[in-house]
Amino acid sequence: MKKITAVITGVGKYVPDFVLTNAMLEEMVDTNDEWITTRTGIKERRILKGEGKGTSYMAIKAAEQLLQKKNLDPKEIDLVIVSTATPDMQAASTAVYTATQIGATNAFGFDLEAACSSFLYGMSVASSYIESGRYKKVLLIGADKCSSMIDYTDRATCIIFGDGAGAVLFEPNEEGLGLQDEILKSDGIGREFLQVKASGSLYPVTKEAIDKRENFVFQDGKTVFKNAVFNMADVTVKILERNNLSNENINWLTAHQANKRIIDATANRINLDSSKVMMNIEKYGNTTSATIPLLLADYEKQLKKGDNIVFAAFGGGFTWGAIYFKWSYNS
Ligand code: UT7
């Protein structure tokens, strides 16, 4: 019997209509377009507006686009995973609600939270279910309404984050395509440098916490930046070495979009030409769990069957990793 590998067979995306530009942020906090552009590469981000719209709103839209593109009956889906750092609410899973709303009535669902590495970790989990032969169709959605946890008076964070969602379908393959290798890492030393302090069981949201603005993201940007540059490049180099890959036989670097300088640093470490580096941070900013699937959606038409892709991410926690993946279709 041939070995079963896990491939991505379809991609969908959704970004909200509202565009928050650097010029608009200049009116809100003490910042300027030049600083934001040179320090981060971001020009604008999308923000989800409107009452009653949470992360699931975008997850559903991205999944529906995928279902439509693939002409797939949602009843065929076995499992829905929503990778997110901003679930609709505590306890009631965003993935479960999403599955029901898209008509995936035969699927079970759960959320997966690993900050900006949520989607990368989700790729590993989805692939494992496929490789084991247990399930045939796993829908992995990366979605975050980052604006729900951002303090728009804090210039250190409000210029970075945006909202969005991307969805991919994982299915079995017998040609050896899809996920080839992974290095996933985490280190709890990172907790103090990137967190929403009042959001869980340790420090529940109280009036005092809100008064201290502890219900918003806090980030020690410099420390996170240093760790991101070192660790993302480190796992990328290691996964290349382990698989006898070089800059010549890699077709794409698909890296979490947190800061253009972090992505450039990783590409430089492996001498990868910028034409092979997927980039859309200028349009969407850091959408946390959605950056990687949004890249796949934006670059889908350029991807060819057999392309060697290296995925990489770094995020809060700390969490990070790299995945070596062979693309499986031409669109
Ligand atoms: O998504 C996963 C995890 N997140 C990340 O990977 C993000 C990692 N961190 C970063 O991307 C960067 O650290 C930031 C973009 C957040 C900040 O860039 P930086 O080059 O590390 O700037 P900094 O925090 O060291 O600040 C440099 C200067 C400071 O002024 P002084 O002390 O040199 O006078 C800041 O006060 O820039 C100032 N500054 C700003 N100026 C204009 C900080 N934020 C802003 C701003 N506009 N928005």
Which tens digit of pLDDT belongs to each residue from 46-77? 999 999 999 999 999 999 999 999 999 999 99
Any bridge partners for residue 114, and if so which? 116
CA 302 to chain centre: 20
For residue 28, what are the CA distances in angstroms to 2, 21, 128, 161? 58, 11, 45, 15
For position 93, what pLDDT does the model report? 98
Among positive and negative, which fits the CA dihedral 302, 120, 281, 293?
A: positive
Q: Quick check: 219 and 227 in contact, CB under 8 A?
A: no
Distances (CA, A) of 97 to 49, 67, 93: 20, 17, 7
Q: pLDDT band at 2, cuts 50/70/90?
A: confident
What domains are defined for the chain? Answer: 5-176 (3.40.47.10), 179-326 (3.40.47.10)
List phi, psi (to 5°) of 231. Answer: -75, -35
Ligand 1 atom with the smallest distance to the CA of 157 is: 16
**Distance between Cα 312 and ligand 1 center (Å):** 22
Is ligand 1 within 6 A of the CB of residue 40? yes
Judge whether residue 33 has pLDDT over 80.
yes
Tell me, yes or no, if 158 is annotated catalytic: no
Catalytic residue, from 173, 227, 259, 286: name it. Answer: 286
22-46: average pLDDT: 98
Q: Mean pLDDT of all residues in the chain?
A: 97
Widest distance between CA atoms in the chain = 63
Q: Catalytic site residue 280? A: no
State which of 39, 144, 288 you would mutate to test the pocket of ligand 1, scoring each by most atoms of that ligand within 8 A of its C-beta. 39
For ligand 1, whether the C-beta of 114 sits within 6 Å is no
Sort strands 308-315 and 44-47 into parallel, antiparallel or unpaired.
unpaired
Tell me if residue 126 falls in helix, strand or coil: helix
CB 218 near ligand 1, within 6 Å: no
Q: Which pLDDT value is given to residue 226?
A: 97
Q: What is the 222 CA–ligand 1 centroid distance (Å)?
A: 7
Whether residue 171 has pLDDT greater than 80: yes
Answer yes or no: 286 catalytic.
yes
